[in-house]
Amino acid sequence: MSRPRIVIVGAGFAGYRTARSLSRLTRHQADITLLNPTDYFLYLPLLPQVAAGILEPRRVSVSLSGTLPHVRLVLGEADGIDLDGRTVHYTGPEGEEGTLPYDRLVLAAGSVNKLLPIPGVAEHAHGFRGLPEALYLRDHVTRQVELAAAADDRAECAARCTFVVVGAGYTGTEVAAHGAMYTDAQVRKHPMRTGMRPRWMLLDVAPRVMPEMDERLSATAERVLRQRGVEVRMGTSVKEATHDGVVLTDGSTVDTRTLVWCVGVRPDPLVESLGLPMERGRLLVDPHLQVPGRPELFACGDMAAVPDPNQPGQYTPMTAQHAWRHGKVCAHNVVASLGRGQRKTYRHRDMGFVVDLGGAKAAANPFGLPMSGPAAGAVTRGYHLAAMPGNRVRVAADWLLDAVLPRQAVQLGLVRSWSVPLESSSPEVARVPGRPERTGTDTGSDLGKAPGQSSSEPDGERAKTPRSEPATTPPSEPAKNQPSSEPAKNRPGGEPAKNQPGGEPAKNQPGGEPARNQPHTEPAKRGPSGSPRASGRPRRAVEAAGPRPARGGSGKPGKASRASGTGSTGKRPTAPSAPSRSARPPADPGPEPPANQPPPGPDIAPGPVKRTDGRAVEGDS
């Protein structure tokens, strides 16, 4: 009898816990494959401390191959699932394609940034869902403070040292709290010439900070923020974002160069290509985390709508605590479906929440007991050490060093602005030259929401989005409407996002008009069969960015990317309602930039540079 093949898509809290539990429960009697874009599990709750310079990036990155024995790791991103053929199609980190057959499939791809239909946000804001975004924010904040300290103009100094965080949930509150401490430490060493201090703003349309928590804990968090000088504006959000600042819903304008988007998350768009019943973007499952009608298919984590036994008719919220527990129950039920043991129903007990506010300050309610101050700080850090699946000693050592030594405020320049777009279906992977871009379409925004709707509502609460018709544009045309002060090529320079209701599709998104400064832009082509994949479940639509490099150096031309659609006609299909995994870039670096293009800066996409031998190479200038 052949060994059963189990494939797990995603290595977040749910996927990692499922793989670890299956490795123990199957007793080496099954082939377990874990498909993930990165080779590490990211402990998200400590990501704000990475952005604030407390922890090094590898401290919150747990090696998958080093902690998951007897689990085969495949680097790649799922872009289509053939449910009838029982295969998962994926794209590797270097553009190669592959297929994984399975007998049992666990979907745990997690979530991505949630957007709202606010002009300019997609172009000028940055999310906080992955390690690249945290590293970019750390460099960006450091750079802005250093530029502000050297500026002679008072208005420029004020704009550069103003930091706006949208979303007063757990992530946004921690980012603002840690960020204020980080910039204050910088200013103490290098005072600004104009005598100004960094200004942090926390915005949300909710009535109070962290509305999900107890009112006493919410009041504690807000008091700590205000003591550190953070401007907490409840009932206020962003109405429009530009390169030079933001316009708030109360009519005021704030000059700033930093906009951090922490309004929540939405399920990974992979589930929308399956054609299965969903609940607000999440795949419906039964209390055993099994998809009805598909005994071989399981789902857990943020992308699964799991019934909440404590609240009939409701589903468990999209939190790390639930995802971690989903993984354990899912592993037991997968093994039970193979004839070993009994199935388990997902049940949970609320263990409370912890919010690290930096230093010795925190807000926590372990098992319903409200705590604040140093005691809450000790409980919070103790909880994180106990919950982390690895690197505990290294994390504790970094905390100890941070308590006795000053932080190192330096720019590493490893992640650029164009590498971490807000509209991305893969926030855990930064864009790099020569690798397929992973950007979302205009429909990645929550277009069904009004700009004034609460950004702290439960994650996954989003309306259905309209479809947009892609347009074409001549290739290799320079980007238009770019301000001279902004070197980033993929930013419209303050022009309102054209993917908003009543406007045109975003020109730099796969579902809309292709970016005008991208080489060899061509319309998406259908596969050889001219129709979606078998079983009626189309693959996620991708936009062809040019010919794919030949495999293995054989010299054969690559196949064009496939696009989802209906029928077998040659008409261009409409853009899907979910962000698409983009196609591969052309093999050559493309045409040389125009003569009037500004020189590459810290936030500019790299282009071809001239070598002494006359050949063009790809990379940073």
Q: Which among 143, 7, 16 is positioned nearest to 428, based on CA atoms?
A: 16
Assigned token pair, 453: 């709707």
148 within 8 A of 269, measured Cβ to Cβ: no
Distances (CA, A) of 288 to 283, 296, 334, 410, 543: 13, 12, 10, 48, 37
- Phi and psi of 195, rounded to 5°? 80, 15
pLDDT of residue 429: 84
**What whole-number distance in Å separates Cα of residue 13 and Cα of residue 8?**
12
- Tell me which H or E stretch contains 231: strand 231-234
pLDDT of residue 305: 94
Contact residues for 18 (Cβ-Cβ < 8 A; gap 6+)? 8, 106, 108, 300, 326, 327, 328, 330, 331, 334
Please identify every stretch of the chain with a pLDDT value under 50, giving residue numbers as ranges.
Answer: 438-594, 596-621
pLDDT tens for residues 478-498?
A: 444 444 444 444 444 444 444
Quick one: 570 exposed, middle or buried, by C-beta within 10 A (0-12, 13-18, 19+)? exposed
Cross-strand bridge partners of residue 89:
80, 99
Assigned token pair, 305: 């709508």
pLDDT tens for residues 30-66?
A: 999 999 999 999 999 999 999 999 999 999 999 999 9
pLDDT of residue 71: 95
Q: Which among 443, 423, 418 is positioned nearest to 564, based on CA atoms?
A: 443
> Locate tokens 């479906």: which residue?
337
Locate the DSSP E strands across 147-218. Answer: 162-166, 199-204
pLDDT of residue 532: 38
pLDDT of residue 477: 43
pLDDT of residue 194: 66
**What whole-number distance in Å separates Cα of residue 81 and Cα of residue 270?**
9
Sheet strands side by side (includes 31-36)? 71-75, 31-36, 5-9, 104-107, 297-299
Cross-strand bridge partners of residue 259:
164
Q: Which among 39, 3, 46 is positioned nearest to 355, based on CA atoms?
A: 46
Quick one: 387 exposed, middle or buried, by C-beta within 10 A (0-12, 13-18, 19+)? middle
